[in-house]
Amino acid sequence: MDDDDELESLISQFVDDGLLIRHWDDNLKEYVYEVSVRAKEEAPELWAMHVKDLQRGLHRMWQKDFVDITFSENGYTEDKIILTEKAYDPVELNKLSVDDRKYISMLIQAFDSRK
């Protein structure tokens, strides 16, 4: 079994166990995986990698002016993430890497105030 097969097998197991959720992304026109909240308790290493990836991605999008972040004195649960106009601009989005476009798509699903 090569590395790709091992990864696919691991992903399938996580999906079967309910730790990953597979869904279709209309913006990307492909299936994507979302880490379920159950992973926090049942697969803490997966959860920690997920949180670290989210933090890095959010920081990267902030640096590139695709999001504004307002931090609350009342704690992180009241922080606000606002997508900028750039996050909806196809020309700007095409300048991003595939991974960053996937990340923006996820942010739009989670934080789109235009809906």
DSSP reduced 3-state for 69: strand
Q: How far apart are CA 70 and CA 76, in angstroms?
A: 10
Residue 17 above 60 pLDDT? yes
CA-CA distances (angstroms) from residue 113 to 29, 53, 66, 73, 98? 22, 23, 14, 23, 23
Classified as helix, coil or strand, 71 is: coil
pLDDT score for 18: 93
Measured CA to CA, the distance from residue 8 to residue 55 in angstroms comes to 25
pLDDT single digits (tens) 37-77: 999 999 999 999 988 988 899 899 999 999 998 887 887 77
Q: What is the domain partition of the chain in residue ranges?
A: 3-111
Q: What is the pLDDT of residues 74-102, one digit of tens each?
A: 877 788 888 999 999 999 999 999 889 98
